[in-house]
A and B are shown apart, each in its own frame.
Chain A
């Protein structure tokens, strides 16, 4: 599905990545407004940990560096602190654009495969859309066992005291593992999500 989407985009936008972003990425139409002052880059608390700053990503988009942008892990580092947004002299919704780019790269299947944030996001989405609410235990375990059984056990063992404490404080219910509680109209939620998905696809011109 994602590959098809990617090819579709490639065909449609040729080498015009800026137009692709404007049309297909949430708040993407703001990218062109950046004046390359760099205040976002300096304001990001995760600055030292990513490869490309928002301002640089915007410049790369304008320069047509599609592959580099969409495979970059930088978008996945955003913690939504909104420092960049409040300081941007052009009032670009940088946080939203960054998330938009991450989402888009994910849908195209280009986002870095083993990027932990991406993995977590995927787990979270699955977890919460299945029952209409988050099953924390399953989510946590899913994360623990991301890198295999042995590593998962090790992580769980390291945090066993916290787990026990939570159990005693009734903040952790092991029976959730079996089924877990769900929202009352699960089908309704899923219908709603499906509709939203369809709407978005239509708006962004995705054909799946």
Chain B
């Protein structure tokens, strides 16, 4: 590394100069850190301070710099030097703000600052400015799987932005669910009357757009590659297979209506006069085609009374049906009741519901239906019984508090829910797959090591962060849109598909530049593997939360950099440590751990390593500092991309070099996980579960390694955890390994 030129900049501002000896820090940077250039400044983030650094980069050819000032989260605009490798030592938040300003504390505070300088110097020397992933794909076409409202909208919207689209639909015609409807729920003022579906217009738009290529009667036989370079085999019903090259994929495979034959309690199948919402749409369209009113299916008799059973097979606590609410069905029943009322106000329509869910302007539609005479009854339907020609609906009236019945009902509509068409649940063990009554058919047929379809979060919905980042899935460059992502109505599906089209466009643009996608968007680093050291253990390929790594014939990992989210889980998993990033590696962290000055066993000064998730635990520590909450001076904090990236070698290294304890702070995992890399913190906790053996081998107490779930709001809790842990270490005594490391 002949051309590496290092520099350290020590800031004395914000009280650093008064609280710690900056000259000593400078000396450490120079002597121990071996920095080529060391400068101190009274106000480093000022124009003159920044200019000083800039000049050094330009005139002195500084390539690697340490900034010992405030947290890496502060003053990011000032300290923005993308061309060099940069390590920031948090002297302000991490030292002087988190330590008491007392004469007694002065010594340990100084030691902390000195160590942070040592660590930053050690780290920066191991870092490289990421050069960017050379294996970029430049294909910018977008594949849309599914030709319903969601798929067609995604196609049209992407095309409008200038992108080419390939749309694959398994049926012979476009339209999906919406094409089966007679009308749709109104989506703009005045939210009063059922509206035209507009589906024919949309389909015509798709078919006439030169940028959109449509494959009908087709499914995806195979999807391989990565963002920017997916190769897709489109299989047509006739047996022909077409190859398509695309850059990103939108899965808009929609939903299937819940199987009403399972609703024996509501008599489905026992009378043709009991239909689901799809059945009613069919009746409505047929009637409209004939210009006649909807008739009773059993005998063509006049329909005088219609009852709608809400939440049929949904919101079910028994485990027999869908546990969730499908969200669209209240408005749909209102719309369907209006099919009758608008045609003939004399028809009685009753909607039996437990909670009527018409949020937003749906309230207007609800009012409109009431005004037109649709009756709403809060109740629980107990049974639907066919009688001679009609039906009896028995229900518990929750307002009048009685079991009652509506007799002579001509038609009963069951508002059943949406089951996402999400393909194969790849997380289900093979023996469980075997047990399934209906074998799911894969949608994407991904040629990925980890399975054929998008991983599912719950109940088949294929997303991963459904609050803040609803489009993110665990397969980079593949986005779910419409009811396959979450139960939804047409209006939401249109919005959803438009957003998904943006994400797909973003994926192809970033793939071209070799940049990471969410959550490390723009990151140019990528995992580099030294295959000659690889033992083909497959841990990386199995553990990667994003299915980025495949295996070749010899079972060596094949990294698909454009599929990678840069969390470092593979690096944490690798037992032989052959995986690294240019600016984040076993070495960048390991060398920091080793750089810390570990006092001998007589000093009564333990050293505790804290590996903190950079997104939650580390900011919490920062904010604790901002609030001047103090914690033990014996901790040395290193932010990590994700706890999943923590390689156990760091822990054994730390313990071997005389650290007295290691705290790992990551995000909540399991149900309602908060890990941004979905599985990172869970894997870390799993790995740490096995660390006890290592500790026993080292003849150390198991308490010397502790894992915590920390949230970003744990501003008061984090210092407390540290202090409790420091007390614990004091209690069990300093490490017997000191001095042997």
Interface residues of A (CB under 8 A from B): 16, 18, 32-33, 35-36, 55-56, 59-60, 62-63, 65, 90
Contact = CB atoms under 8 A, between A and B. Distances in A.
Interface in B320-377: 348, 356, 366-367, 370-371, 373, 375-377
A32 B371 CA distance: 7
A26 B397 CA distance: 27
Given A16-B348, A90-B367, A35 B400 contact: no
Contact of B375 (A60, A62, A65): A62
A63 B370 contact: no
B371 A63 contact: no
Residue among A16, A60, A62 with most chain B CB within 10 A = A62
Interface of B: 348, 356, 366-367, 370-371, 373, 375-378, 397, 399-400, 404
Given A16-B348, A56-B399, A56-B400, A62 B377 contact: yes
A63 B400 contact: yes
Which 3 pairs, one residue from A and one from B, show the smallest C-beta to C-beta distance? A59-B399, A33-B370, A62-B375
Given A56-B400, A63-B404, 9 more contacts: A18-B373, A18-B375, A32-B370, A32-B375, A33-B367, A36-B399, A56-B399, A59-B400, A62-B377
Contacts of B378: 36
A35 B376 contact: yes
A63 B397 contact: yes
Contacts of B397: 59, 63
A32 B348 CA distance: 12
Given A32-B370, A32-B371, A33-B367, A63 B376 contact: no
Contacts of A16: 348
11 contacts: A32-B371, A32-B373, A32-B375, A33-B370, A33-B371, A35-B356, A36-B378, A59-B399, A60-B400, A62-B377, A63-B400
B383 to A, nearest CB: 18
A18 B372 CA distance: 13
A32 B375 CA distance: 7
Nearest to A33: B370
A60 B366 CA distance: 20
Contacts of A18: 373, 375
Residue among B373, B376, B399, B404 with most chain A CB within 10 A = B399
Nearest to A34: B370
A66 to B, nearest CB: 14
Nearest to B363: A35
A60 B375 CA distance: 12
A90 B397 CA distance: 22
B377 A63 contact: yes
Contacts of A56: 399-400
Contacts of A55: 399
A97 to B, nearest CB: 15
A37 to B, nearest CB: 11
B463 to A, nearest CB: 33
A16 B375 CA distance: 12
A152 to B, nearest CB: 41
Contacts of A32: 370-371, 373, 375
B443 to A, nearest CB: 41
Contacts of A35: 356, 366, 370, 376
B363 to A, nearest CB: 9
Nearest to A59: B399
A36 B371 CA distance: 15
A56 B366 CA distance: 20
Contacts of A59: 377, 397, 399-400
Contacts of B370: 32-33, 35
A116 to B, nearest CB: 27
Nearest to B346: A19
A16 B406 CA distance: 12
A56 B375 CA distance: 14
A62 B404 CA distance: 13
